[in-house]
Amino acid sequence: MRKKLVVGNWKLHGSLVENEKLLDEIATQLKDLRNIDCGVCLPYPYLFQAQRKLANTSILWGAQNVSQFLAGAYTSSVSAKMIADFGCSFAIVGHSERRSYSHESNQKAVIRIKRAVDAGITPIYCVGETLAEYGLGQTKKIIEAQILAIFGLDAITLSRAKAVGLVVAYEPVWAIGTGHAAQPAQAQMVHHFIRALIAQHDADFAEKVRIIYGGSLTPVNACSLLIMPDIDGGLVGHSALNALTFKAICEMAAHTHELCEGISCD
């Protein structure tokens, strides 16, 4: 049984003052949640704040990216070792906003996966098709290339990725920030496809890997997605900026069967 995981992706939001409040609210709202892993990924400058505020809670924190470089003359880069200094559990890798604004390729994303796992950090590897690709019926082809890139990593890195519990986030680009989440059956189909692709290389890893869904996840649609057998949690953007909506999604993930039984899967 895979433990569900819900991670808030704060993107380019927040300030010292706002974060102080939101982190306090999240810590209070989530303090009684059990049987689930919850976390938030903040902009780099505020990682120290998460470390200070969340250190004595069960809430984890992480960064929204990690450099492909270890160290050296790479102005503006932030290494895996640096984010590890701030107690990060996670680093998001290959988010579609990075892929589109910074032309991040699958190859670069998997180097970032390597940097993260070498530093003991769990990568949350984002995959997903654009609206145009979806329209052309290319979803599986795109996802396949994104997932198979992981298996280009060397054996030691792959075993480290397993050890730190690499997470895959399926985020259809057309669902991110649009208010139109994927239909549960469609998302389940892709999650199952991802698990099957991983199983072709490593059946044990495929059973254990958490594949979370992202893209306009809200308290209104979370139940119908989280109840799907291959959806192991969520990567939450907009709804993670409010402690109550974030809590509602985390609760549904923690108690899916009690709270979501009978929800329509259409």
Active-site residue among 97, 129, 171, 251? 171
Distance CA 215, CA 172 (A): 7
Point out which residues pair with 7 in neighbouring strands.
39, 235
Respond yes or no: is residue 129 known to be catalytic: no
Give the alpha-carbon dihedral of 53, 61, 247, 31, to 10 degrees: -50
Is 191 annotated in the active site?
no
CB-wise, 63 or 158, nearer to ligand PGA? 63
What x/- string results for residues 226 through 245 when contact with ligand PGA is judged by CB under 6 A?
---------xxxxx------
C-alpha 237/C-alpha 25 separation (Å) is: 17
- CA angle at residue 206 from 170 to 119, to 5 degrees? 75
**Nearest distance in Å: CB 11, ligand PGA:** 7
The pair of structure tokens assigned to 61 is 């924190």
Per CB under 6 A, does 171 bind ligand PGA? yes
Beta-carbon contacts of residue 103 (< 8 Å; ≥ 6 apart): none
Please identify which of the residues 95, 97, 104, 191 carries the catalytic annotation. 95
For ligand PGA, the closer of residues 9 and 188 by Cβ is: 9
Q: Which is nearer to ligand PGA, 158 or 235 (CB)?
A: 235
Number of chain positions touching ligand PGA (CB under 6 A): 13
Q: Which residues contact 205 (CB under 8 A, 6 or more apart)?
A: 162, 198
CB of 93 to ligand PGA, least distance (A): 12
Q: 8-67: which residues touch ligand PGA (CB under 6 A)?
A: 9
Residues 6+ apart with CB under 8 A from 77: 67, 69
Binding to ligand PGA (CB under 6 A): which residues in 176-215? 176-177, 214-215
Q: Which is nearer to ligand PGA, 215 or 233 (CB)?
A: 215
> CB atoms < 10 A from the CB of 180, how many?
13
- Return the residue nearest ligand PGA (CB atom): 237
Per CB under 6 A, residues contacting ligand PGA are 9, 171, 176-177, 214-217, 235-239
